[in-house]
Amino acid sequence: MQTTLGDASKNQPVQYQLPIGGDLLPMNERIGQTIKLSYQNEIHCVACGRKTKKSFAQGHCYPCFRALASCDMCIMKPETCHYAAGTCREPQWGEINCFIPHYVYLANSSGIKVGITRGTQIPTRWMDQGAAQALPIFQVSNRLQSGLLEITIKQHVSDRTDWRKMLKSDAEPLDLKVIRDDLIDQCSAEIATIKDEQGNDAIQELDEQVVEIYYPVAEYPEKVKSLNFDKQPEIEGTLQGIKGQYLILDTGVLNIRKFTGYNIQVDFI
């Protein structure tokens, strides 16, 4: 789903739009309505468009999953970047997407976590994760450097979101600036080593304001039941809210991003 950040101080939630073919369907106004999503037993690769029986890496066919740099392991683990070894699947893609400013951030979705993102993905990345608060703490020159900092900081805090906990309630507010200062202090020796290896100019400590994010959720579920088109081709329920990339229904929760490339018919009853 496409997202637009709202003003949390005015209780303005993230605005969601669901891509349906070439159209964008506004979703916030649909909360409280019954939605029916029907899988048409057809998946098209988001990269090449070919029909595929199974989706890999959120919407790719297997050949694209194996060939594209955007599907390589170093996207999930940037500290394993192998561009310098001359083995990048698509060097030009890497130069455009990996050798640009990246940010290391703290977020509060199901508790404190550390993460990384391209500058072009702020604040989209945080909304996609269902974060209630986010704070950029470092700006770096490339993806490898962001990965090196992330693995240092994740010795002290998680780098994952507990999606079930995130979908059951609003996150308790945290003082991200105090947590940032404590983490930088704890990791000072490792950060200094990374700066020595990568260059002081490549890594910049930030003093940004905390971004607060509010989601359109009328009611959170007591128990989180995951819905899956591969097991249940027709999903129906009252739309109770949207958070991260999840539709929260009274019958369960549906991770829309997981089914990118699926041909789905959407009806409101």
- Please write the tens of the pLDDT for every residue from 65-97: 999 999 999 999 999 999 999 999 999 999 999
The 3-state DSSP class for residue 122 equals coil
Residue 49: which region, alpha, beta or left (left: phi > 0; alpha: psi -120 to 50)? left
Two tokens at 118? 């391209």
Q: Are the C-beta atoms of 63 and 107 separated by less than 8 Å?
A: no
pLDDT score, position 9: 82
Domain positions in the chain: 2-51+216-268, 101-212
pLDDT score, position 175: 98
Higher pLDDT, 178 or 23: 178
Cα dist from 104 to 12, 20, 89, 164, 257, whole Å: 26, 33, 25, 24, 23
- Residue 116: pLDDT band (50, 70, 90) is very high
Q: Which amino acid is at 195?
A: K
**How many Å from the N-terminal Cα to the C-terminal Cα in the chain?**
21
Q: What is the pTM of this model?
A: 0.93
Cα dist from 17 to 8, 20, 25, 27, whole Å: 18, 9, 5, 6
What secondary structure does DSSP assign to 176-234, as a single string?
HHHHHHHHHHHTHHHHHHHHHHH-GGGEEE--PPPEE----BS---SS--B--TTT-SE
pLDDT tens digits for 178-199?
A: 999 999 999 999 999 999 999 8
pLDDT score, position 164: 95
Which single residue is written with the structure tokens 């899988």? 39
- How many Å apart are CA 95 and CA 116, to the nearest integer? 18
Cα Rg of the chain (Å, integer) = 20
pLDDT score, position 155: 96
